[in-house]
Structure 1
Amino acid sequence: MALVPYVENSLPILSKFYNASAQFRFCNHEINIAQDWKKLGVAAVVWDAAVVMCMYLELGRVELKGKTAIELGAGTGLVGIVAALLGAKVTITDRQPALDSLSTNVKSNLPPGISELATVSELSWGENLDRFPAGGFDIVLGADIVYLENTFIPLLKTMQHLCSDTTTVLLSCKIRYERDNTFLNILKEHFSVEEVYYDEARDIHIFKASKLPKKVDL
């Protein structure tokens, strides 16, 4: 589901989404992301939350080298690509319709020697989670994945499955609606959550979360 309709003469601020590609430089690599708004909508363009997440990862505040990571709702794959460039063994996931475009971006932007660190895989939140190891990831990444209320519970279920007690979750998002805060409040019932970064120019927040210890009955 697209957040905004495709209109050729729409607002100038949206024009970047209609470009066939978007260029970035992270980790001393030129990254060229193919975009196709008409075909896949939100899954095929680079959102500001992904760019800010990459900036944050590049700052080195979370150790990625040698870690196992998974990106949820990867879309174009920019965040997963940067995570791999920083040394993580990363599983880059999205729903089936986005996988061809996602795979193309990942393969075309990771050089030999690094490409084997990244795997593209289908993941629809809350479904077939046994395909992924329970608590099997050091880092869970998500950029602009909190915006549809009917996905909140499946997303939470997915995060709970993927996370161990030592997993770090990083969520990058713009708080557009009250329902976005609703998700954060739901998340806080199961995870310790803190804001660790804010990009004022883009109005993007990054939240860090970790599983709360299980309550022990006395």
Structure 2
Amino acid sequence: MAATRPRVRILIADDHPIFSESLRKLLQAESDFQVVGEAADGAEALERARSLKPHILLLDLAMPRLGGLEALRELGATSSPVRSVVLSAAIRKEDIVKALQLGARGVVLKDAGSHILFECIRSVMAGDYWMGRETVADLVHALRSLSRARPGRAREFGLTFRELEIISHIVAGLSNKEIGQQLSLSEETVKSHLTHIFDKLGVSSRLELALFATHHGLVIG
């Protein structure tokens, strides 16, 4: 007989009781989800994350006492293992970048379908970052506007100029094929460069690479 997989423990942090209750019912209807608690503000979310030890924190950014971004910052400072997903009615491009830099693993808008949220939670539990199509476009735009190259950082990480070019194209949202066309390289060569870049920087996805490069000033052009 196959072993039953443990359910994903979820904490909901939102200051609108009707929304929280509706969300709880939707999540509890999924056999692999378990809502272990709710919080009405960021401070309460931190307290319950410590005491209830959820796997996933669904976190609204606009909450009283302590906002979502501040809660993410404090969670990061405590090295909490909880994986946070930002769940918001509306979010600015700059806040998407900031939330991800502070440790959020996903972003879902409240008007998205429930299946989108479920997919996000399962992807984040599998170790991935999750972004909806619209928020990915916003993220790319925000990364472009926030990126500022800082001389000397490339040498610090042992990056070649070609690797910096590829990183900059990743931040701009280009695919491997498009990068190859821009730099007159084969797609396989681009993949090989990316493997070396991932190893040097200790990242495991294009999103992590884009955030790392933006934060450390590795974008040129």
> What is the TM-score with the length of structure 1 in the denominator?
0.36
Structure number with bigger Rg: 2
- Indicate the structure with greater helix content: 2
> When you count strand as a share of all residues, which structure comes out higher?
1
